[in-house]
Amino acid sequence: MSGLTLFAADEAAMLELGARIARATAGRGVIYLHGDLGMGKTTLSRGIIRGFGHVGAVKSPTFTLVEPYEIGEWRIFHFDLYRLADPEELEFLGIRDYFEGDALCLIEWPQRGAGVLPKADLTITISVHGGGRSLHLAPHGPRGEAWCAALAA
Ligand code: ADP
Ligand code: MG
């Protein structure tokens, strides 16, 4: 399994896809989210986080850089590094703690944290497709490949 492309016709479909991705990951790993502003990275993250049973708001962490979620046994960290000026700033956030435990990390604008972020299990690239969005999922290693296999089934 070298990757796959999925389609979400609207926001509701994007949230549903997020819930499927949540199930595939079982709450552990690192996902990089690529795509221009307004492509739906935060929407997909919202779907993933709600997929674990979170019922409250899922705000864009544009200004906080990271929003943590504790849902039952799961810990999810949702990053948006758009405003990160220097990857070194991530050290001040205590980034190591986020990546050492058994957590799921969703990272918008990971290229801003290059060199400091851990490597991704999966990269999702979102682009416009008709009125909706196409999502290309590229796995990096066995964990991401297992997720893609589950999502392709
Ligand atoms: P990003 O985090 O990539 O900047 P957002 O998640 O904030 O983008 O979403 C941008 C907009 O795209 C929102 O208005 C959302 O409703 C819309 N959107 C999300 N997913 C889809 C989709 N699959 N099809 C059409 N519009 C979508
Ligand atoms: Mg966003």
pLDDT in tens, 100-152: 778 999 999 999 999 999 999 999 999 999 999 999 999 999 999 999 999 99
3-state secondary structure of 4: strand
Residue among 128, 120, 108 at smallest CA distance from 44: 108
Q: Does residue 26 form part of some domain?
A: yes
Q: Whose CA is nearest to atom 16 of ligand 1?
A: 11
- Which tens digits make up the pLDDT trace of 23-75? 999 999 999 999 999 999 999 999 999 999 999 999 999 888 999 999 999 99
Query: Which pLDDT value is given to residue 1?
Result: 54
Q: Does residue 84 form part of some domain?
A: yes
Does 128 sit in the ligand 1 pocket, CB within 6 Å? no
Closest ligand 1 atom, residue 39 Cα: 3
Cα 103 to ligand 1 centre (Å): 25
Q: Does residue 136 form part of some domain?
A: no
ipTM here: 0.99
**Distances, alpha carbon 144 to alpha carbons 29, 33, 126, in Å:** 9, 14, 17
Cα 40 to ligand 1 centre (Å): 3
Q: Does residue 96 form part of some domain?
A: yes
Residue-number span of the structural domain to which 84 is assigned: 10-116
For residue 95, name the pLDDT band (cuts at 50, 70, 90).
confident
Does 112 sit in the ligand 1 pocket, CB within 6 Å? no
Closest ligand 1 atom, residue 126 Cα: 3
Query: Which pLDDT value is given to residue 99?
Result: 81
Question: CA geometry: angle at 57 spanning 30 and 5, to 5°?
Answer: 40
- Are the C-beta atoms of residues 128 and 39 closer than 8 Å to each other? yes
Cα 153 to ligand 2 centre (Å): 28
Q: Does residue 130 form part of some domain?
A: no
CATH (domain of 41): 3.40.50.300
